């Protein structure tokens, strides 16, 4: 669940539980004493104490399972979660006694948050609860250890997600990309039966605590009704869709120029040609899509790779005589780790430059920053609170690329949220809503303008010109705008799975219908029900709700605008870099400290002055690009 693992969410993420009442032995006749009725505040205090006590156990077990994927670590993680989810179900049952009673707002909020704190609500039945945690751990492990082996009998032919992603990022050969894309998707069909069962179990758990299904529970964390969340997401998508359509149209034209008829599939973008396994970020297609080649040098990846190579040479120079192969490999590992740390320090520097604290020493000694050579780990990046008092880490297989650099800034957004709210009650140690948690680091990524990148030595001093502006905007749009429909569709699929409108026999068909409808993406080859393509995306086997990322992609522009205003920025929004601005930092930290103790609308108001999510800052930011795209696309039949 990493992605952002809030304490509770994480513990609760994998949990199972058997209900409180079922585990206690029946009282003997003489021992029956009526306990004094517990007040709601006492219950909340107990919950807070239990989270503080249990979180380190669950986090440790989950960390182990994600960084040493094997059956023993899976057992340990499943049991820790089983214990916690059992406890949680007990608390939820106790909390239900206060339903309909008038409580202090903060108490009522704590109990409401308790109920929705797990993305995998567990049935009370202990056997089902245990089954749920085992499935959850198995699914995550299967994804993490996933490999495509061209020759099933030859382990040397196996490639992991990093290697396959690199093909899509760098190789422009149609067949090589298709093989890499199809290859990765072979990891998913074996997860289908487990996922189907898992979905049924969490639905059962959600129903037992009063929700229609697990999707409704997921949509209950936004201080509005679950039905309103759907309408709100549609409204925001409606605001940005015209911009997405322009980007889609331009991109399709470039793909058709490069690949001829194979550059599109019935007007849609071919899934394997987008530079990314899920078509959620098109930045790797820069070589095809750069509007004005060479105008404004934004080649961050080349600079990062050069830094790593220099570190490697330094490591080699330390070796005396004729080093053996093992020493040379070790020098490479040292260089990779040093580069990963240096990239993390760059990101940390942005936050400390805003006046936020330095990361604790244990952050660097305990984080996993590069892919170990000797074992399987879940490489999908994540940020972890290991307890409720600021023991934080990240887990990431960092490579010297721009994409990974920005992901580190993203992860540190979670880390600084954890650090900022660590002194609040554990039940409120969470984002104002989960989209806030995802938006913190990304807001800072928006401030990684050419000026900022030059200030940290990754690009040359920027030239200011209209062409350079279009290039810069395109660079950002390929990550941010391209992402938006993807951010929306994953949960459209899961909400359908949970509410039964997507039946197991239509899992894959429904997936591709949504891909076509929202992203305008299609597979180049038939993807029938013998495939299970949703599970080729981490968050499905990892059971991490995804609407948070869609909301985050709207919110981050609102936060960015507010912080730019706070820093006294004038001029077009996209030129704002608030790095080093203490006032922006102060206001940001004040928001982070609040955690989830008040409705997010209030938290947003304190930072931005407004109380709703709104895409007007997205459109303001991309106004120059939108105008340019419209000109480029004139006369073309856009749409999909």
Q: Which residues lie near ligand X8Z (CB under 6 A)?
A: 3-4, 280, 381-382, 407, 410, 549
Q: Which is nearer to ligand X8Z, 111 or 489 (CB)?
A: 489
Looking at beta carbons, which residue is closest to ligand X8Z? 3
Q: Among residues 232 and 438, whose Cβ is nearest to Zn ion?
A: 438
Q: How far is the CB of 479 from Zn ion (least distance, A)?
A: 14
Q: Which does 248 bind (CB under 5 to 8 A by kind): ligand X8Z, Zn ion, none?
A: none
Nearer to ligand X8Z, 410 or 433 (CB): 410
Site residues (vs Zn ion, CB under 5 A): 3-4, 438
Return the number of other C-beta atoms located less than 10 Å from residue 312's C-beta.
Answer: 19
d(CA 29, CA 79): 33
CB of 278 to ligand X8Z, least distance (A): 7
What sections of 500-599 are H helices per DSSP?
507-514, 547-566, 582-594
Q: Tell me which of ligand X8Z, Zn ion, none is bound by residue 407, counting a contact when its beta carbon lies within the kind-specific cut-off of 5 to 8 angstroms.
A: ligand X8Z
Q: What's the chain's length in residues?
A: 640
The neighbouring-strand residues paired with 119 are: none
The residue (of 297 and 382) whose beta carbon lies closer to ligand X8Z is: 382
Q: Closest Cα partner for 169 from 265, 279, 308? A: 279
Nearer to ligand X8Z, 89 or 382 (CB): 382
SS (H, E, C) 389-451: CCCEEEECCCCCCHHHHHHHHHHHHHHHHHHHHCCCCHHHCCCCCHHHHHHHHHHHHHCCCHH
What's the closest the beta carbon of residue 381 comes to ligand X8Z, in angstroms? 4
Smallest gap from residue 382 Cβ to ligand X8Z (A): 6
- Mapping DSSP to helix (H, G, I), strand (E, B) and coil, where does residue 137 land? helix
Assigned token pair, 539 = 């968050």
Interaction partner, residue 246 (Zn ion, ligand X8Z, none; CB < 5-8 Å by kind): none
Q: Which is nearer to Zn ion, 438 or 533 (CB)?
A: 438
Q: Closer CB to ligand X8Z, residue 91 or residue 181? A: 181
Q: How far is the CB of 379 from ligand X8Z (least distance, A)?
A: 10
Q: Counting Cβ atoms within 10 Å, is residue 153 exposed (0-12), middle (13-18) or buried (19+)? A: exposed
Task: State the binding partner of 491 from ligand X8Z, Zn ion, none, CB within 5 to 8 A by kind.
Answer: none
Smallest separation, CB 3 to Zn ion (Å): 5
Cβ at position 479, least distance to ligand X8Z in Å: 9
Q: How far is the CB of 11 from Zn ion (least distance, A)?
A: 18
Which of Zn ion, ligand X8Z, none lies near 94, with the C-beta cut-off 5 to 8 A by kind? none
- Binds 514, which of Zn ion, ligand X8Z, none (CB < 5 to 8 A, cut-off by type)? none
Nearer to ligand X8Z, 410 or 574 (CB): 410
CA distances from 209 to 22, 95, 118, 515 (A): 16, 10, 12, 32
Of 484, 510, 541, the closest CA to residue 282 belongs to 484
The option from ligand X8Z, Zn ion, none interacting with 549 (CB < 5 to 8 A, set by class) reads ligand X8Z
Kindly list the distances between the CA atom of residue 153 and the CA atoms of 26, 142, 149, 511, 572, in Å, as whole numbers in the listed order. Answer: 56, 19, 8, 32, 58
Q: How far apart are CA 166 and CA 19, in angstroms?
A: 46
Side-chain half-sphere CA neighbours of 528 within 13 A:
1
């Amino acid at each position: 669940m990493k992605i952002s693992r809030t304490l509770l969410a994480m513990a609760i993420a994998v949990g199972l539980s058997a209900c409180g009442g079922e585990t206690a032995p029946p009282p003997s006749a003489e021992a029956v004493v009526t306990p004094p009725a517990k007040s709601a505040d006492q219950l909340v205090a107990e919950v807070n104490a239990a989270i503080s006590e249990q979180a380190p156990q669950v986090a440790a077990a989950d960390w182990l399972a994600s960084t040493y994927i094997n059956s023993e670590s899976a057992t340990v993680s499943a049991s820790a979660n089983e214990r916690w989810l059992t406890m949680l179900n007990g608390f939820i049952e106790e909390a239900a006694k206060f339903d309909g009673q008038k409580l202090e707002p903060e108490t009522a909020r704590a109990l409401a948050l308790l109920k929705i704190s797990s993305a995998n609500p567990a049935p009370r039945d202990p056997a089902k609860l245990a089954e749920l945690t085992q499935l959850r751990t198995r699914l995550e492990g299967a994804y993490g250890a996933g490999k495509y082996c061209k020759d099933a009998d030859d382990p040397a032919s196996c490639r992991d997600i990093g290697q396959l992603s690199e093909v899509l990022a760098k190789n422009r050969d149609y067949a090589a990309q298709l093989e890499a894309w199809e290859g990765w998707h072979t990891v998913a069909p074996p997860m289908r039966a487990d996922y189907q069962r898992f979905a049924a179990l969490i639905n059962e758990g959600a129903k037992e605590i009063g929700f229609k299904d697990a999707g409704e529970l997921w949509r209950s964390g936004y201080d509005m009704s679950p039905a309103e969340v759907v309408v709100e997401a549609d409204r925001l998508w409606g605001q940005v869709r015209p911009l997405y359509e322009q980007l889609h149209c331009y991109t399709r034209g470039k793909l058709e120029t490069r690949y001829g008829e194979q550059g599109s599939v019935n007007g849609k973008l071919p899934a394997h040609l987008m530079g990314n396994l899920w078509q959620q970020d098109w930045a790797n297609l820069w070589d095809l899509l750069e509007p004005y080649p060479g105008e404004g040098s934004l080649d961050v990846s080349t600079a990062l790779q050069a830094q790593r190579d220099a570190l490697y040479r330094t490591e080699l120079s330390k070796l005396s005589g004729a080093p053996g192969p093992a020493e040379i490999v070790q020098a490479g590992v040292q260089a990779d780790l040093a580069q990963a740390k240096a990239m993390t320090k760059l990101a940390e520097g942005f936050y400390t430059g805003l006046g936020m604290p330095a990361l604790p020493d244990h952050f660097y000694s305990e984080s996993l920053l590069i892919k170990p050579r000797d074992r399987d780990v879940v490489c999908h990046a994540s940020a972890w609170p290991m307890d409720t008092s600021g023991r934080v880490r990240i887990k990431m297989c960092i490579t010297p690329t721009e994409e990974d650099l920005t992901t580190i800034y993203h992860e540190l957004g979670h880390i600084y949220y954890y650090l900022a709210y660590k002194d609040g009650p554990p039940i409120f140690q969470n984002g104002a809503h989960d989209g806030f948690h995802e938006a913190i680091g990304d807001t800072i990524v928006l401030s990684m303008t050419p000026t900022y990148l030059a200030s940290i030595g990754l690009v040359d001093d920027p030239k200011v010109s209209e062409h350079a502006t279009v290039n810069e905007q395109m660079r950002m749009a390929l990550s941010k705008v391209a992402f938006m429909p993807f951010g929306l569709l994953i949960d459209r699929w899961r909400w359908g799975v949970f509410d039964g409108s997507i039946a197991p026999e239509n899992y894959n068909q429904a997936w591709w219908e949504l891909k076509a409808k929202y992203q305008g993406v299609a597979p180049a080859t038939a993807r029938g029900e013998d495939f299970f393509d949703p599970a080729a995306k981490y968050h499905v086997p990892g059971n991490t709700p995804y609407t948070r990322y869609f909301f985050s992609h709207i919110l981050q522009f609102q936060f960015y605008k507010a912080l730019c205003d706070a820093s006294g920025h004038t001029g077009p929004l996209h030129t704002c870099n608030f790095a080093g601005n203490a006032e922006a930092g102060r206001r940001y930290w004040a928001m982070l400290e609040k955690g989830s103790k008040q409705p997010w609308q209030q938290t947003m108001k304190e930072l931005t002055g407004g109380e709703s999510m709104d895409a007007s800052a997205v459109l303001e930011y991309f106004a120059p690009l939108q105008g340019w795209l419209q000109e480029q696309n004139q006369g073309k039949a856009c749409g999909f």
